[in-house]
Amino acid sequence: MAAPDATRDALESFDLATGTVRELNRRLHGPAHPQRLRVLNPSGRHSIAVGLDGPHEVEIEGHVGYYCAGMNKLAAIRVRGNCGVGVAENMMSGSVIVEGSASQSAGATARGGLLVIHGDASARCGISLKGADIVVRGSVGHMSGFMAQKGTIVVCEDAGEALGDSLYEARLYVRGSVTSLGADCVEKEMREEHVEQVRGLLARAEIDDADPADFRRYGSARNLYHFQVEHLGSY
C-alpha cells in the first residue's frame, strides 16, 4: 500500500456527492483533463473513470461499483477501497491498483497494463485475459483465469475451484492452495525464468512480503484447443 501522500489534500478533486459519474468521466476524457485528480465519495457508483486515454493519475477515495477503470489506456488509477464486478475490464495499458478487495471478473478480457488487488478477488478473476498482468495479494475465487489467452495472474494466497479452466496461453502463479484445476489446466515446472517473472511482477505491484520461489506455476495442457488429427472423422 502506498504511504499517505502529503500533497493529496492539495490535489484537484471531483466530488461524486455533488457531481455525476458522467460529468466526472467527461472531465477525465476532455482535452483539458487534470494531470492528477482525486475522486471523492464514490459510494459504490458504477463506471467510474472508464475509458481513460492518457497518462494521467486518478485516485478514488472509497468503494466503487461495477466496471471501474474499464478500458483503461495509459492512466494510473488507484482505488482506496473495494471494487464491484469487472474492475479494469478490457484494460489496454496503464495500471489499476485496488487497495481493498475486488468482486467478480476483475480484469476480464484485459489486453495490457497491470491490475493489482491488495485484498481478495472473487470468482472469475482474469476471465478471458488477453495480455494484461494481474497480481492479487490475497486469494481468488472459482473459475479464475477461465479461458485466459495471454498474460499473467499472480495469486499470493489461494485459488478456488476450477482454476484456469479451458486455459489458452496465459500463465497462472499461485503461492497457496488450489481447490481444483479446471479442464485442461495443469501444474507446470517452475523454472528460473518463471521465478524471475513473478519477482518482477511482485516488484511492480509493490508487494515485498512474498517470496517468488514459493509460487507454483499452472498452464494449459494444450489438449483442449488443438485440432486433433486423429479425431478428424468426428469434426
Partner 1 sequence: MCGIAGLYTKSPALEAQLGEQLARMLEQLSFRGPDSAGVAFYRDPAPEGWCKVSLYSPAVDPGWDELSVELERAFGASSPPSVRATHATFMIDADAERAQAWLSERHPELRLMSAGSSIEIYKEAGPPREVIERFALEQMAGSHALGHTRMATESRVTTQHSHPFSTGLDLCLVHNGSLSNHNRLRRVLQRKGIRFQTDNDSEVAAGYLTWRMREGATLEQALEGCMDDLDGFYTFAVGTADGFAVLRDPIACKPAVMAETDEWVAMASEYRAIAVLPGAEDAVLWEPEPGRVYSWGTAPVA
Site string for partner 1, 70-89 (x = CB under 8 A): ------------x-xx----
Nearer of residues 126 and 141 to partner 1, judged by Cβ? 141
Buried-state track 93-131, b at ≥16 Cβ within 10 A, e below 16:
bbbbbbbbbbbbbbbbbbbbbbbbbbbbbbbbbbbbbbb
Nearer of residues 123 and 174 to partner 1, judged by Cβ? 123
Site string for partner 1, 6-45 (x = CB under 8 A): -------------------------------------xxx
Nearer of residues 41 and 93 to partner 1, judged by Cβ? 41
What would the 3-class secondary structure string for 180-221 be?
Answer: CECCCEEEECCCHHHHHHHHHHHHHCCCCCCCHHHCEEEEEC
Nearest distance from C-beta of residue 44 to partner 1, angstroms: 3
41 to 62, 113, 156, 186: CA distances (angstroms): 6, 26, 30, 43
DSSP 8-class letter at 24: H
Residue 118 binds partner 1, judged by CB under 8 A:
no
Among 104, 109, 128, 152, binds partner 1 (CB under 8 A): 104
Among 48, 49, 58, 65, binds partner 1 (CB under 8 A): 65
Nearer of residues 40 and 71 to partner 1, judged by Cβ? 40
Nearest distance from C-beta of residue 67 to partner 1, angstroms: 12
Nearest distance from C-beta of residue 10 to partner 1, angstroms: 23
H or E stretch including 69? none
Nearer of residues 76 and 159 to partner 1, judged by Cβ? 159
Residue 142 binds partner 1, judged by CB under 8 A:
yes
DSSP helix, strand, coil percent of the chain (3-state; round to 5): 15, 25, 60
Nearest distance from C-beta of residue 201 to partner 1, angstroms: 25
40 to 9, 54, 81, 140: CA distances (angstroms): 11, 21, 12, 28
Residue 145 binds partner 1, judged by CB under 8 A:
no
Distance, CA of 195 to chain centre: 20
Residue 101 binds partner 1, judged by CB under 8 A:
yes
CA-nearest of 27, 182, 3 to 78 is 3
Nearer of residues 81 and 113 to partner 1, judged by Cβ? 81
Residues making contact with partner 1 (CB under 8 A):
43-46, 62-63, 65-66, 82, 84-85, 101, 103-104, 122-123, 141-142
